[in-house]
Structure 1
């Protein structure tokens, strides 16, 4: 009797797991159809976005962001980015704020420099670096300790090696309440709590280097209850 009950419980749990995984997979919303930029908008008077071979290519002479027309609050977002050669920097905006010719708020960093801060959390147009932290001028010992810990974190070999400078990189951003987690190629690079913003569009960035093309693909989102 106990063996039969145990078997039934195991089967039930297995079915629940399979059903849950299937439901999660069905709940993904494709933000990019691979053909055009439907569902996206450019709030700037400059910058160009075109679709080439199933990728969004951004070109510009000044920094700009291409944004989703829809806002999102609690979600899991996934997207892939490839940086151009040479000096380059980009990011995925989320829960951000939009004005004419201006976008600010949370950004998952895409860092093309030797600093290796890809996957960090940057507050575009406001507080700047949140993780890793940059304090500027301060004598607060606790803050300086936090700053050092954050820099030591990004110096770890597994974190520094998470980002592929010359290839495609998959980002996953999970926001639920004040919890923010960023993963780069399945490596957790940011896992903090910050409650400044709760809802806004998703954005992709061109950093403004003339002649450079930034590429994005496989952009999708799953909203969380």
Structure 2
């Protein structure tokens, strides 16, 4: 009787272990110490303090080195007003404009902003709110987790582990990750930044 159940159980465990084994591993984008592997564009100033990337004092974008196509990326973010409205974003499949490397990236942006209709969790294309987030789950001065998955033309955004945006678009197929500091009078912070390739 015991043998009748042992074989199926062992097969199930083998399948589960195999599934775990083929999951792509998470790769750190940030060493927690300095901005090695990142390139700053624009006027914002970027620094690292106590394991946190901090951007402020202007408009600019901080690009990570990897160029990826299909992936998941996640991190913890916080924005704070310093006299003006705080606005940031996590860019995916992004690149510096050839005619103006300090300008807004060409790519998709997972919005981070709590003071406008196209708020945190919306998908933006350059200058245009594109994929609507179903709920605003964040507020200024509060850390939150964001995750983005892009596979082919399918793009999904999670905020605080809740899926808030799903959209299909194929304009940008691969590129870099970037963090935005939208304007003077605000601060953006980021930590625990990881990605994994899905192709």
TM-score normalised per structure 2: 0.87
Note the C-alpha offset of 1:167: 1.3
In the other structure, the counterpart of 2:194 is: 220
Task: Find the aligned partners of 1:76 and 1:216 in 2 and give their Cα distance.
Answer: 17
Match of 1:75 among 71, 74, 87: 71
TM-score normalised per structure 1: 0.77
Unpaired stretches in structure 1, ≥5 consecutive residues: 133-152
Note the C-alpha offset of 1:94: 0.4
Q: Deviations over 1:94-134 (max 9, x none)?
A: 00121321222200011121647211101124xx11112xx
Structure number with the higher strand fraction is 2
In the other structure, the counterpart of 2:130 is: 130
C-alpha distance 54-130 of structure 1, shift in aligned 2 (>3 A): same
Q: Deviations over 1:63-89 (max 9, x none)?
A: 211001221110010011101146211
CA RMSD of aligned residues (A): 2.2
In the other structure, the counterpart of 1:148 is: none
In the other structure, the counterpart of 1:11 is: 10
Match of 2:149 among 174, 197, 210: 174
In the other structure, the counterpart of 1:84 is: 80
Structure number with the higher helix fraction is 1
Note the C-alpha offset of 1:31: 0.2
Unpaired stretches in structure 2, ≥5 consecutive residues: none
In the other structure, the counterpart of 1:97 is: 95
In the other structure, the counterpart of 2:115 is: 113
How many residues of Structure 1 are paired with residues of Structure 2 in the alignment?
Answer: 193
In the other structure, the counterpart of 1:193 is: 168
Secondary structure of the structure 2 residue equivalent to 1:96? strand
Q: Deviations over 1:3-32 (max 9, x none)?
A: 7455433333234334533653x7111000
